[in-house]
Amino acid sequence: MAYNEFAYFYDEFNTAADYDALYRYVTGELAAHGVPGGLLADLGCGTGDLTLMLAQAGYDVIGVDQSEEMLSVLREKADELGLAGRILLLQQDLLELDLYGTIRAAVSTFDTFSHIGPLDRFEQAIAKAAFFMEEGGVFVFDLNTPYKHARVLAGQTFDLDAGDACCRWSNTYDPQAGRVRIDICITDRETGDHWQEMFYEYSYDLDTVQTLLDRYGYTVARVADGEDFGPLRPDSQRWIFTAVKRYTQQGPKGETE
């Protein structure tokens, strides 16, 4: 899934996001597992607030996103902060990820991996991220939970207001497919222009995610609530995983040991 016009309004509609808390958690997990710096990929970096914070903290960051519009916004922010030379931006589908070498860490936040499904595609994305990870490398990523899809989003419509624009966000839950269809309609109040986009989010049970991580060489070190970063609860709406790679993969590109 790639945001198009929505990319230019994303930050305005995402003001509730606590990037400082997310940054503290992510960098704390990376440092706790021996990666206080080094080459890091932000997979599905979007407009890049976390990407920029990691670069400012001294990480060498590769920002990867399928949306050229999202990368364009991030590029402008990096220029304004004097960080353009510190971040490599790649427009790539995570299913076709190519980082041209190994990395020490990867992060993926705000439900990027929830948008990749169904399960075979999700597994492919996990495998791709694993292929470029060095032994001892750390992958921190989040997913929306089945609880959120079934009990919070299902059948709900949300109206978001960003001053210059408004957005109607409608959710249709399909329990058999394990996914939510999301329809968004954005109106620019100044011009009267409208844009519509549609995409899906998928959810998986916790055991399935942990099994796939193990299959591709990760040991799950921690799973926390992805919103308050405390212990998991039955009503957690987001999980955040910390997974440590057991080995560096060898052999032809695309193959695992």
- Whether 184 contacts 201, CB under 8 Å: no
Which residues in 53-79 are b (16+ Cβ under 10 Å) and which e? bbbeeebbbbbbbbbebbbebbbebbe
* pLDDT (average), residues 87-91: 96
First-last CA distance in the chain: 29
User: What's the token pair of residue 75?
Assistant: 């590029």
C-alpha triplet 114, 117, 121: angle, nearest 5°: 125
Please check the confidence at residue 256 and state whether its pLDDT lies above 60: no
Distance CA 190, CA 192 (A): 6
| pLDDT score of 252 | 40
- Model pLDDT for residues 106-129, shown as the tens digit of each residue: 999 999 999 999 999 999 999 999
CA-based nearest residue to 205, from 172, 231, 175, 244: 175
Which residue type sits at 16? Answer: A
244: nearest Cα among 116, 130, 80, 75: 130
pLDDT above 90 as % of the chain: 77
Adjacent-strand bridge partners of 242: 140, 222
**Which of 243, 180, 235, 234 has the alpha carbon at shortest distance from 209?**
243
pLDDT of 66 = 93
pLDDT digit string, tens, across residues 187-222: 888 888 888 989 999 999 999 999 999 999 999 999
Bridge partners of 239, per DSSP, are 143, 225
Span 49-76, average pLDDT: 94
Q: What is the mean pLDDT of residues 57-64?
A: 96
Burial 143-169 (b: 16+ CB within 10 A, else e): bbbebbbeeebeeeeeebebeebbbeb
Residue 160: pLDDT band (50, 70, 90) is confident
